[in-house]
Amino acid sequence: MKHSPIIALDFPALDEAFGFLDKMPSGLWVKVGMELYLQNGPDIVERVKGRGHQVFLDLKLHDIPNTVGRAMEGLARVGADMVNVHAAGGSEMMERALDGLEAGTPSGRKRPALIAVTQLTSTAEEQMNREQGIPGTLLDSVVRYARLADEAGMDGVVCSVHEASAIRDACGEDFLKVTPGIRLEDGDAHDQKRISTPADAAHAGSTHIVVGRAITQAADPAAAYETVKRQWEVG
């Protein structure tokens, strides 16, 4: 199932993020990442949600199982709709993250979706082989992490569009495939290595696309958002 594009609110300050949102339609999916969260604190999530948006809190937790489990218990109270960890932390860490999230979610509130980052979209295969010491193809590594995440009870993964269809085959249609690295045709890749267009993402079976600079740095962000949304919906 395709969800609305998630806009990455990669701004340092609250007033910049809200200034941006003032120009955008209501009822968006937005992503609060480390930049905004660490400089503005947990309240940022409720404040963005108070404006009628759904929030993916992208903190990519990666630590020992006990630490991640306890951190997730706290994060469950912050009010995000989706949170994440790094699959490289291992199955025990992911299981403890899920336990923490379930324990911390206030009664009557839906548990946030929990997804695991496979290989960052800024990682290229050669770099993975050389720097992480993981041999073989990037696709194999991503699918392996996706299976591990599925077995640990995660609701889905963060991957690039290039791996989405293989993950659908391995983990099923309902397993979330949240895909950053989205660019409009001929857009600047910046630091991303595995990029794709919204239409490619729709064809590959992404369930969510995450779009930052292609919208936030556009001359007309609202128009750029509409273009992304149209291409994603039409596929």
Ligand X SMILES: O=c1ccn([C@@H]2O[C@H](COP(=O)(O)O)[C@@H](O)[C@H]2O)c(=O)[nH]1
Residue from 192, 196, 207, 231 binding ligand X (CB under 6 A):
192
User: For ligand X, which is the closer residue by CB, 65 or 181?
Assistant: 181
Smallest distance, Å, CB 40 to ligand X? 15
Nearer residue to ligand X within complex by CB, 68 or 192: 192
Upper half-sphere CA count for residue 43 (Cβ side, 13 Å)? 4
115 is in an annotated binding site: no
How many other C-beta atoms lie within 10 A of the C-beta of residue 193?
A: 19
- Name the minimum Å distance from CB 106 to ligand X: 27
Size of the site for ligand X (CB under 6 A): 18
How buried is residue 185: exposed, middle or buried, by Cβ count under 10 Å (0-12/13-18/19+)?
A: exposed
Residue 162 is assigned to a ligand binding site = no
Q: Are 189 and 203 a contacting pair, CB within 8 Å?
A: no
| DSSP letter string, 49-98 | HTTT-EEEEEEEE-S-HHHHHHHHHHHTTTT-SEEEEEGGG-HHHHHHHH
Instruction: Tell me if 154 contacts ligand X by CB under 6 A.
Output: no
Closest CA to 45 of 61, 62, 58: 58
Nearer to ligand X, 7 or 93 (CB): 7
Phi and psi, residue 175, nearest 5°: -65, 125
Which of the stretches 21-29, 73-81, 196-204, 206-214 binds ligand X when contact is defined by CB under 6 A?
Answer: 206-214
Q: Mark whether 110 is an active-site residue.
A: no
Of the candidates 2, 23, 49, 60, the residue annotated as catalytic is 60
Contact 167, 143 (CB under 8 A): yes
Instruction: Verify binding: residue 89, ligand X, rule CB under 6 A.
Output: no
Q: What secondary structure letter does DSSP report for 187?
A: -
Among 68, 181, 202, 231, binds ligand X (CB under 6 A): 181
- For the bound state, the minimum distance from the C-beta of residue 34 to ligand X, rounded and expressed in Å, comes to 7
Closer CB to ligand X, 168 or 183, in the complex: 183
Q: Is 59 annotated as a binding residue?
A: yes
**Using CA atoms, how far apart are residues 84 and 188, in angstroms rounded to an integer?**
27
Enumerate the known binding-site residues.
Answer: 10, 31, 58-67, 121, 183, 192, 212-213
Enumerate the known binding-site residues for substrate.
Answer: 10, 31, 58-67, 121, 183, 192, 212-213
Catalytic residues: 60
